[in-house]
Chain A
């Protein structure tokens, strides 16, 4: 059973960088696309971007320029960096997996990590 676990600091100061990790267990990162999604408190889902295990990434137009994703296939984890954060970046951040290149749906999700942007 594939399991995803997000981790990172729960509190980030405005204008600083948010850095999160998603550790994948019970399966390999290799062969799949992976995605980061966020959800502000009481709000809806927002797609941040996705990344192929080869490192090819695509980002949300609204976050492009501030977001970077990477993969470490040796240690089986993904990373997300978001620079110059503001209060609007406060959200529950999820990582998730696309089961195949031709599937639009995310079949495995982590439990999410809450990140609050505040001084």
Chain B
């Protein structure tokens, strides 16, 4: 199972919006609405930001939103803030009854 493809880095200025893509196949992202997104700050455990493509857990800022089109899922962060600087990973259920993570994206707030 190959990792889902994410851009290595994305950057934006405070207040701007950025979007992180997560590209898979019809056997994972494209086949199921079971994509999640995680935020990971240095030396910290990942934190769930989005599940099931677009569901935001309680406590997660509404500046974070998820969507999917075909084999590509996306995480949008609006009103970018300094605290959003972190690594972000997507994850998807697969047709093999497994999960796969994305390659990870480093978000930099300029």
Chain B residue numbers with a CB within 8 Å of A37 are 46, 101
Number of B residues near A (Cβ < 8 Å) is 30
- Which among A46, A60, A105, A111 is the interface contact of B45 at CB below 8 angstroms? A111
Closest to B51 in A: A105
* A47 and B91 contact, CB distance less than 8 A: yes
Given A47-B100, A50-B99, A60-B98, decide whether A106 and B36 contact each other with a Cβ distance below 8 A: yes
Residues facing B in A82-119 (CB within 8 A) are: 94, 102-107, 109-112
Partner of B101, one of A47, A59, A102, A105: A47
Report the minimal beta-carbon distance from B52 to chain A, rounded to whole angstroms: 5
CA distance A21 to B36 in the complex (A): 25
| Chain B nearest CB, measured from A76 CB (Å) | 19
Asked whether any CB of chain A lies closer than 8 Å to the CB of B80, the reply is no
Q: Which of A44, A60, A62, A110 contacts B104 (CB 8 A)?
A: A44
Q: How many A-B residue contacts, CB cutoff 8 Å? A: 71
Q: Which residues of A contact B47 (CB under 8 A)?
A: 109
Verify if B109 is at the interface (C-beta below 8 Å from A): no
Given A62-B1, A105-B51, A107-B48, the answer on whether A45 and B104 have CB atoms closer than 8 Å is yes
**Cα distance A46–B100 when bound, in Å?**
7
Query: Is residue B50 contacting chain A, with contact meaning CB distance below 8 A?
Result: yes
Q: Would you call B3 and A105 a contact (CB within 8 A)?
A: no
User: Is B51 a contact partner of A104 (Cβ separation < 8 A)?
Assistant: yes
Q: Which of B69-107 contact A (CB under 8 A)?
A: 89, 91-93, 96-104
Q: Is the CB of B101 within 8 A of A46?
A: yes
- B46: chain A residues at CB < 8 Å are 37, 45, 94, 106, 109
| Partner-A contacts on B (CB < 8 A) | 1, 3, 32, 34-36, 38, 40, 45-48, 50-52, 55, 57, 89, 91-93, 96-104
Pull 29 A–B residue pairs with CB atoms less than 8 Å apart, ordered by A: A35-B99, A37-B46, A44-B89, A45-B46, A46-B101, A47-B91, A47-B98, A47-B101, A58-B98, A60-B98, A61-B1, A61-B98, A62-B1, A94-B45, A102-B52, A103-B51, A103-B52, A104-B32, A104-B34, A104-B35, A104-B51, A105-B38, A105-B48, A105-B50, A105-B55, A105-B91, A106-B48, A107-B48, A111-B45
